[in-house]
């Protein structure tokens, strides 16, 4: 099968050490088997990695991969994945951002880029269609992400150039550093910004002018026209444009799953002061959409008065508002916007930094760290000045910030007593959905290939809806279903929100992909490929030493019952969790240690992975 569209079948290779670039033509088989986006990314990481890889060493690669649907005329076609070995977790990591950046890479004629090595000085990559250059970025050293993007466009002399960049945090290899594009769109999780920083790569600027290959454009247009119409007719469509993900604050608080005071509680009594209505009425000055997206879920906000007046930022969305709101005890939306702005400008993930800052507040409150540990600054819930200061210290690795910048494992190494306070899986701080009332969410976090991240599986809404009376088998299946369908969106290079939020039929994506490639695909076939990628990232992690003991939710979900709200008194049962984990492994086709069986790998067409897994089973 040879796709007549969807792909340029070209990967740009950049070796920063050698200061060389070349273009690889990929086979049809590779293109279709791993689809694209994080599917390609995972496969390329598997092929290029060494078992003793140092995530911040020159050997580690980072793959930039939009998908075969990125840039095409269909709803929300603007996602790009960054895949690598994560410096935060030491295992496979990826993160994606929306907007225009990945589309521009595709328009320059590349489906993906692989970056390896380390530049001798701070550099940026300039991709002007086929012309690729590595240029000095010394003048942008320590410059914020938003400012760098601005300055680079001005220096290149083209306002339409698309830029992805790291801030000072990435340069300082802060393990929660993100990659930022389109002035504040972030690939936030797993420290992808630190990987770029370790390579001395400040930014990537792209100008692409080429047509995107589509096998059957009239069909694609016809399906898309219908798809856009359907989305616009949804009764929540307009509300989505107005509040986007900020509407989740009310939902999460009412459902008793909003992280509060470092996940000690799951209900915030001041949630109404930081919700979507507050934003819409007092702060919102505009909408912002990813490429070809009618939902425009991003909100541009302005702080009009007070000490943060003049702060303009695209954001927050739910996660940021919760992590820098309820989770650190802030009920002032001005301060949330400021924290969002600082994180974007310094290039720090809001979920991870919000989480570790809340850990320090709780630790200090409980007398588990001293004032000296905090550089003499007392911490308390809702103290926005101290919190802003901590964001800066993390990014610049100052004082206590230097420890926080080393992520979960860095904090535990210095203060082992704080381990029970940190909500994380495999070193990645938990997203802003509490898991104590939803075993599916806990299982999703525990078995996620990158750590405790909600985008891999978000079964919590369904579990809340279903109530208590359904079997662990069904629950495990729901998690596996999420872990199969959600990554597919990342592989295709599109956003999952039209599906999850506006009930858009996932079968349509098979139609889009068929029209793009000219080959008939069913959703089922695509999901099988997605499943294979999940097994592949599992295999990467097992190669890197992961085992069953790492598949556990944050300790807090077992030990500390929720204090207030609709689920007060509830916590997760440890034995029940072990039971569902057994069931999950079984249904995934993994052995009892969580290693994919040979049959499973064969079914997935991952024959070359079997040898590694055999070695692991033999205890080598």
Partner 1 sequence: MRKKLTVIPERCSGCRVCELVCAISHTGVNNPKKANIRVISLYPHPVIKMPIVCEQCKKPKCRDACPTDAIVKNDGVVTILEDRCVSCHACVNACPIGAIFVHEDIEIPFKCDMCGGKPKCAESCPKKAILYVPEHTQGQAHRLGAALKYANMQEVEYYEHGVKKKLRYAEIETGGTRGDSE
Kind and range of the H or E element at 591? none
Site string for partner 1, 49-78 (x = CB under 8 A): ----------------------xxx-----
Which residue stretch of 47-55, 303-311, 531-539, 576-584 sits at the interface with partner 1 (rule: CB under 8 A)? 303-311
CA angle 204, 341, 308 (to 5 degrees): 150
The torsion angles phi and psi of 89, rounded to 5 degrees, stand at: -110, -20
CA 223-227-232 angle, 5° bins: 155
Stretch that binds partner 1, among 130-138, 301-309, 380-388, 568-576 (CB under 8 A): 301-309
* Minimum CB–partner distance for residue 278 and partner 1 (Å): 14
- The yes or no reply on residue 314 touching partner 1 (CB under 8 A) is yes
* Residue 188 vs 294, nearer CB to partner 1: 294
Closest approach, Cβ 488 to partner 1, in A, equals: 21
Specify the residue, 218 or 569, whose C-beta has the smaller distance to partner 1: 218
Q: Give the footprint of partner 1 on residues 179-208 (CB under 8 A).
A: 183, 208
* E strand segments, 559-620: none
Q: What angle do CA 550, 554, 557 make, to 5 degrees?
A: 135
Q: Is 159 in the site for partner 1 (CB under 8 A)?
A: yes
213: left (phi over 0), alpha (psi -120 to 50) or beta: beta
Q: Which is nearer to partner 1, 84 or 247 (CB)?
A: 247
Q: Does 292 bind partner 1 (CB under 8 A)?
A: yes
DSSP code of 590? B
Q: What angle do CA 512, 517, 521 make, to 5 degrees?
A: 65
Separation of alpha carbons 43 and 32, rounded Å? 12
Among candidates 66, 74, 89, which has minimal Cα distance to 492?
66
Q: Does residue 602 belong to the site contacting partner 1 (CB under 8 A)? A: no
> Does 105 contact partner 1 by CB under 8 A?
no
Distance (Å, whole) CA 411 – CA 450: 19
Which residue, 264 or 300, is less far from partner 1 as judged by CB? 300
Q: Per rule CB under 8 A, is residue 384 in the interface with partner 1?
A: no
C-alpha 175/C-alpha 352 separation (Å) is 9
When asked if residue 294 is in the footprint of partner 1 (CB under 8 A), the reply is: yes
Q: Which is nearer to partner 1, 213 or 594 (CB)?
A: 213
Q: Which of 17, 151, 221, 597 binds partner 1 (CB under 8 A)?
A: 221
Alpha carbon distance 49, 40 (integer Å): 14
Residues 110-139 that bind partner 1 (CB under 8 A): none
Pick 227 or 485: Cβ nearer partner 1: 227
Residues between 248 and 287 with contacts to partner 1, criterion CB under 8 A: 280, 284-287
Per-residue 3-state assignment (H helix, E strand, C coil) for 78-101: CCEEEEEECCCCCCEEEEEECCCH
* Residue 152 vs 583, nearer CB to partner 1: 152
* Residue pointed to by tokens 């959409």: 289
Q: Which is nearer to partner 1, 77 or 488 (CB)?
A: 77
Q: Is 399 exposed, middle or buried (0-12, 13-18, 19+ CB in 10 A)?
A: middle
- Which residue, 17 or 221, has its beta carbon nearer to partner 1? 221
**Interaction between residue 378 and partner 1 (CB under 8 A):** no
Q: Which one of 43-51, 144-152, 575-583, 593-601 is the stretch in contact with partner 1 (CB under 8 A)?
A: 144-152
Nearer to partner 1, 109 or 188 (CB): 109
Q: Can you give the three-state secondary structure of 272-287, one letter per residue?
A: HHCCHHHHHHHCEEEE
**Closer CB to partner 1, 214 or 404, in the complex:** 214
Closest by Cα among 242, 143, 153 to 205? 153
Alpha-carbon distance values, 242 to 237, 281, 462 (Å): 9, 10, 25
Query: Closest separation between CB of residue 286 and partner 1, Å?
Result: 5
Q: Check residue 347 for interaction with partner 1 (CB under 8 A).
A: no
8 Å CB contact between 336 and 388: no
Q: Give the count of alpha carbons within 13 A of 529, CB side only.
A: 25
Binding status of residue 291 toward partner 1 by CB under 8 A: yes
In which residue are the tokens 């889009």 written? 512
In angstroms, give the least distance from the CB of 516 to partner 1. 9
> Between 68 and 259, whose beta carbon lies closer to partner 1?
68
Q: How many other C-beta atoms lie within 10 A of the C-beta of residue 556?
A: 22
Q: How far is the CB of 80 from partner 1 (least distance, A)?
A: 16
Angle, vertex CA 399, rays to CA 395 and CA 401, nearest 5: 35
d(CA 524, CA 512): 14
Out of 150, 234, 579, 616, name the contact with partner 1 by CB under 8 A.
150
Compute the least distance from the CB of residue 226 to partner 1, in Å.
12
Cβ 47 vs Cβ 30: under 8 Å:
no
Residue 170 within binding range of partner 1, rule CB under 8 A:
no
**107 sits near partner 1 (criterion: CB under 8 A):** yes
Q: Does the protein bind partner 1 through residue 209 (CB under 8 A)?
A: yes
Residue 216 touching partner 1 (CB under 8 A):
no
Least distance to partner 1 from the beta carbon of 385, Å? 16
Total residues at interface with partner 1 (CB under 8 A)? 46
597 contacts partner 1 (rule: CB under 8 A): no
CB 411 within 8 A of CB 404: yes
Residue the block writes with tokens 């525990």? 446
Which stretches of the chain bind partner 1, using CB under 8 A?
Answer: 71-73, 100, 107, 146, 149-150, 159-160, 183, 208-212, 214, 217, 220-221, 228, 232, 241, 280, 284-296, 298, 300, 302, 304-305, 309-310, 312, 314
């Amino acid at each position: 099968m040879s796709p007549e569209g969807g792909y340029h079948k070209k990967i740009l290779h950049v070796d920063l050490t050698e200061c060389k670039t070349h273009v690889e033509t990929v086979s049809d088989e590779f293109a279709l088997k791993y689809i694209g986006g994080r599917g390609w990314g995972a496969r390329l990481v598997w092929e290029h990695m060494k078992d003793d890889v140092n995530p911040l060493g020159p050997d580690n690669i980072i793959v930039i991969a939009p998908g075969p649907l990125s840039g095409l005329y269909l709803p929300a076609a603007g996602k790009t994945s960054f895949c690598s070995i994560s410096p935060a977790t030491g295992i496979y990591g990826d993160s994606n951002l929306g907007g225009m950046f990945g589309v521009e890479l595709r328009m320059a004629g590349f489906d993906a880029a692989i970056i390896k090595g380390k530049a001798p000085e701070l550099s940026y990559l300039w991709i002007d269609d086929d012309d690729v250059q590595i240029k000095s970025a010394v003048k942008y050293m320590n410059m914020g992400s938003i400012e760098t993007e601005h300055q680079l466009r001005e220096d290149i002399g083209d306002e339409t150039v698309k830029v992805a960049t790291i801030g000072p945090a990435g340069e300082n290899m802060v393990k929660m550093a993100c990659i930022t594009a389109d002035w504040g769109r972030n690939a936030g999780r797993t420290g992808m910004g630190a990987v770029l920083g370790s390579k001395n790569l400040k930014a990537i600027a792209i100008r692409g002018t080429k047509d995107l290959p589509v096998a059957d454009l009239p069909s694609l247009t016809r399906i898309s026209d219908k798809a856009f119409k359907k989305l616009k007719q949804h009764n929540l469509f307009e509300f989505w444009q107005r509040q986007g993900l900020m509407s989740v604050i009310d939902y999460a608080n009412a459902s008793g799953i909003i992280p509060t005071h470092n996940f000690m509680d799951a209900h915030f009594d001041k949630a109404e002061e930081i919700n979507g209505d507050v934003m819409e009425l007092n702060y919102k000055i505009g909408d912002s959409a990813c490429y070809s997206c009618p939902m425009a879920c991003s909100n541009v906000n302005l702080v009009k008065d007070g000490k943060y007046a003049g702060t303009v930022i695209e954001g927050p969305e739910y996660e940021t508002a919760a992590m820098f709101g309820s989770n650190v005890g802030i009920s002032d939306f001005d301060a949330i916007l400021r924290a969002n702005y600082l994180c974007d400008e310094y290039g720090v993930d809001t979920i991870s930094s919000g989480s570790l800052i809340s850990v320090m507040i709780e630790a200090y409150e409980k007398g588990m760290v001293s004032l000296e540990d905090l550089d003499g600054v007392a911490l308390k819930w809702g103290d926005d000045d101290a919190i802003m200061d901590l964001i800066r210290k993390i990014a610049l690795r100052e004082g206590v910030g230097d420890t926080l910048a080393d992520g979960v494992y860095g904090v535990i190494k210095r203060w082992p007593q704080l381990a029970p306070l940190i909500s994380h899986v495999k070193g990645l701080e938990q997203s802003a959905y509490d898991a104590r009332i939803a075993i599916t969410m806990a299982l999703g976090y525990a078995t996620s290939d990158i750590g405790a991240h909600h985008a891999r599986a978000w079964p919590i809404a369904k579990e809340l809806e279903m109530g208590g009376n359904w079997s662990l088998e069904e629950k495990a299946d729901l998690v596996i279903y999420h872990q199969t369908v959600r990554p597919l969106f990342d592989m295709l290079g599109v956003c999952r929100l039209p599906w999850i939020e506006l009930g858009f039929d996932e079968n349509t994506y098979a139609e889009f992909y068929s029209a793009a490639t000219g080959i008939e695909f069913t959703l089922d076939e695509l999901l099988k490929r997605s499943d294979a990628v999940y097994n592949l990232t599992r295999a990467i992690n097992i190669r890197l030493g992961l085992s069953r003991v790492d598949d556990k939710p944050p300790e807090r979900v077992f030990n500390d019952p929720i204090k207030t709200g609709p689920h007060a008194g509830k916590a997760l049962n440890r034995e029940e969790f072990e039971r569902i984990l057994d069931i999950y492994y079984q249904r995934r086709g993994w052995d009892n240690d969580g290693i994919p069986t040979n049959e499973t790998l064969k079914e997935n067409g991952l024959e070359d992975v079997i040898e590694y897994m055999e070695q692991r089973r033999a205890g080598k």
